[in-house]
Chain A
């Protein structure tokens, strides 16, 4: 049993961090919540009560409708693309072939780079100019005789946001690979050996044993990537600047608040983003911590 004095001493040691997080995370969320229910517009704070009006206005706002749609498209393509590519790479590398380390390093390095750098480079790779000004990947496709691949990238009407998922997949699929690889290595070899002895084909082992065992890993990765895609912001900005067809809630919040000075609406978008992330993350945290062995 721990003494009272020790209890206090240990509490005091983490108290500065607890206070910092209490203020900067929970205090600020509450403060944002309050702003989102105010009519604050302009440089001077104005906390005149407005109830849920800012939220109601958002739900009938055409720009916010575009944002929600773009987030959905982006999330589906980004999460699915990263998962599939990550899983395939992990399965290939798990065969224990030569040069595994080099490949792993190549697939992971984009994780170390900022979205801004990725965005600036991909902005030139996905240059939509046509005719004699064709450049970037379109020019490469042309040179390789792959003309059918030439497209307008993020300037494609209606589906432009899908092109933004490409650099995002480039950046994050290595992360999926690393987590899948760790998951694969945790599967005991005996399990696969036993199946082989019983005459199972490699495909049967994969679909009957390996993939089902990887299901919890897949769920974790989906949640992590899903919450990232809800927050996507700087990548879009660096690829395309501020363009309505490629708008997402995080960009809308930033612009409407700091360019438009419509603080009430900006805070409402922030809170909606938080709620959508919380729906994913809270059960995940609860599950992860509960299933961990007692210290």
Chain B
């Protein structure tokens, strides 16, 4: 009896914290679904009287081009850095060359650097190769700074595959690429999902690279949203709806592929 009651008590702090986590979502949605005439900072916490889409439509009209910029930038960035990470991980786990043990931590360090320390050369470099201002330069940036984490995740995964599998294929005459293509690649689909959604989320949520590398017409949605939030002209209710639109793609990924998202997140902590 007391056992049961004390277990029940555990829910009190959990529910309290859950409310704290959901407050911003509540405000975003409640405000988003209100009609323009209902919107008032005084009644911020009240439920809407009906479901209206005014704010979302207004926010979408303002943010749509930037939403597409984000989509066009994120997809190639995620796919290419995942492929590179997979190849690197394969070599660093199964075909260590001389010096591989020194190269690996040197690559990993790239994952932690504050990007302010490379920002000036990055901008100058992109200007020199004529990729400054547009999306391709931003894509290239996300690919390269994504290499450390994608390499780490794949290396850790391939390290769990028994050595004997590779050795046996070698004896059968398979080459390095053959073994990768026929044996390891087919079983690394789950890792690809992990890395793809991680890179997708990272690139989608990035602000710093986007704000220094792209010109206004090529802004991804995070930069456009921040700009909208800083302006006095766009009402706060539209800002809320815009925030929701910006968060929606990564939230959907989280809701439907949460398990994989979690694994990507743990990989970032190295030891997990």
**Which chain A residues have a beta carbon within 8 Å of chain B's beta carbons?**
2, 6-11, 13-14, 16-18, 20-21, 24-29, 31-32, 35, 45, 85, 88-89, 92-93, 95, 97, 103, 105-125, 127, 129, 133, 135-137, 139-140, 143, 170, 174-175, 178-179, 182, 216, 220-221, 224, 227, 230-231, 233-234, 237-238, 241, 249-250, 253-254, 257-258, 263, 266-267, 269-271, 273-274, 277, 281-282, 284-286, 288-289, 292, 295
Which residues of chain B are near A11, meaning CB under 8 Å?
Answer: 97
Partner of B21, one of A16, A119, A170: A170
Q: Which residue of B lies closest to A26 (CB)?
A: B106
Produce 1/0 per residue, B248-272, CB < 8 A to A.
0011011100100110011011111
Which residues of chain A are near B109, meaning CB under 8 Å?
Answer: 25, 281-282, 285
Q: Which residue of B lies closest to A35 (CB)?
A: B120
Q: Which 4 A-B residue pairs are closest in the complex by CB-CB distance?
A: A114-B205, A274-B117, A10-B95, A28-B118
Size category of the binding interface on chain B:
35 or more
Partner of B110, one of A25, A95, A115, A118: A25
Query: Do residues B41 and A113 form an inter-chain contact, with CB atoms below 8 A?
Result: no
Produce 1/0 per residue, B84-113, CB < 8 A to A.
100110111101111010011111111011
Query: Do residues A125 and B18 form an inter-chain contact, with CB atoms below 8 A?
Result: no
User: For the complex, what is the distance from the CA of A42 to the CA of B28, rounded to whole Å?
Assistant: 42
In residues 14-46 of chain B, which contact A (Cβ within 8 Å)?
Answer: 14, 17-18, 20-24, 27-28, 41-42, 44-45
User: For the complex, what is the distance from the CA of A257 to the CA of B123, rounded to whole Å?
Assistant: 11
Which residues of chain A are near B114, meaning CB under 8 Å?
Answer: 230-231, 250, 270, 273-274, 277
Query: Do residues A273 and B117 form an inter-chain contact, with CB atoms below 8 A?
Result: yes
**Which chain B residues have a beta carbon within 8 Å of chain A's beta carbons?**
7, 10-11, 13-14, 17-18, 20-24, 27-28, 41-42, 44-45, 84, 87-88, 90-93, 95-98, 100, 103-110, 112-122, 124-125, 141, 144-145, 147-148, 151, 159, 176, 201, 204-208, 212, 222, 225-226, 229-230, 236, 239-240, 242-243, 246-247, 250-251, 253-255, 258, 261-262, 265-266, 268-272
Given contacts A109-B255, A113-B247, A120-B226, 18 further A-B pairs with CB under 8 A are A10-B100, A13-B91, A17-B84, A26-B106, A109-B254, A112-B250, A114-B250, A117-B243, A120-B225, A121-B28, A170-B20, A170-B24, A182-B266, A257-B120, A266-B119, A285-B108, A286-B105, A289-B108
